[in-house]
Amino acid sequence: MLYEHARLASLRLGCEIRRFAVEVGFRMTSKKVAILTGGGDCPGLNAVIRAAAKTAILEHGAEVIGIEDGFEGLVENRWRPLPYLAVSGILSQGGTILGTSNRANLFKYPLEEGGKTVFKDVSRKAVENFKAMGADVLIAIGGDGTLTVADRLRKLGVPIVGVPKTIDNDLYGTDQTFGYDTALSIATDAVDRLHSTADAHHRAMILEVMGRNAGWIALGAGLAGGGDVILIPELPYRLEAVCAYLRKRRDAGKRFSIIVIAEGAKPAGGDVVVRQRVADGAEPIRLGGVGFKLQEDIERCSGIESRSVSLGHLLRGGTPTAFDRILATRLGREAARLALSGSDGVMVGLRGSEIVPVDFKDIAGRQRLVNPDHHWVQVARSVGACFGN
């Protein structure tokens, strides 16, 4: 009974919205927009869903549906309507109301057959399900993996507009991704908190953060938090240089040091630390543990007592910052407008202060990594930070 009341209320609100749209001169359309979130979760996903859905409903009178758990829901035909009430009140929520999956590569989809996992191309089934939903266009919110799959799906006849998402900030074609600012704020707060315990015990405290092959989170947190050593994938470090720097600080009367290290950082001539290998994942390896490895190396190399902590998935959770809420809302709005204007094969991105469309072909196979000469790197060096090289 309660569900029925809510459904009727939503229908009535929909009618009122359509009447309001006509009165104020908004275009009305019979189009249907589908939205999905793929890959890892990220603060700000719900803000994009909300903005895209509300823009489609209020400005275009379009119907909106949400595909559950990313491309997995497209394969398994799991979706639900997203009326106005369904996306109201979710701006500040972390995660995604639609769910997500980072194992749903349509062209290498894991299936169980005879007690074993096999990989098959299920893209045709996904196209058939999309058409059966009656949707005209898909808004795909995700990182490089999601958008790569989206581009291939688009070539099979599904019109797609992409929205870049990742805490790693490594997507090409946009100056910044939503989720990064929130992750950076969490990491910076962690650095601040480590200062007091490092000072009390006169230790080297190591903070390991996510980022895969990109060092944006480690670089930003190290710069904002006053990290003494910042180690990122783009600048392979020498253990001897790090230890010499720590000993120099100790000899100068600095009784503690703060080290921020990206999970993908590695020593010169060495390799990344792999936490787990995943046969059916979007990424064949999962990074993690480099901070604990560095702790052992520093104690052996310098004799300085060290401790390590990894933030891991804490960086993905919680309420998005004001910056991420606004950026996500702007991206969602523009994605809906492009989708309902007939655009296809474009991603919305931040360029300077503007939200602009970026062609998929201009971002395919490219990552936005930290340039070793980036201004943030230069500033960190100027205030005494060591990059171990």
- The Cα-based distances of 139 to 13, 99, 191, 211 in angstroms read 24, 15, 36, 25
Q: In what order do the strands lie in the sheet with 137-142?
A: 79-81, 63-67, 32-37, 137-142, 160-164, 346-351, 354-359
Tokens 């990344």 belong to: 272
168 carries an active-site annotation: yes
The dihedral over CA atoms of 219, 224, 229, 234, expressed in degrees to the nearest 10, equals 10
Tokens 């992750």 belong to: 183
**Residue 67 near residue 79, CB atoms below 8 Å:** yes
Say what angle helices 45-60 and 2-24 make with each other, to 10 degrees: 60
For residues 193 and 180, give the distance between their C-alpha atoms in angstroms, rounded to a whole number. Answer: 20
Exposed e or buried b per residue across 127-149, where buried means at least 16 C-beta atoms within 10 angstroms of its C-beta: bebbeebebbbbbbbbbbbbbbb
Give backbone dihedrals phi and psi of 380, rounded to 5 degrees, phi first: -60, -40
Q: Which of 136, 168, 181, 324 is catalytic?
A: 168
**Residue 228 near residue 261, CB atoms below 8 Å:** no
DSSP state of 237: B
Question: What positions carry a catalytic annotation?
Answer: 168
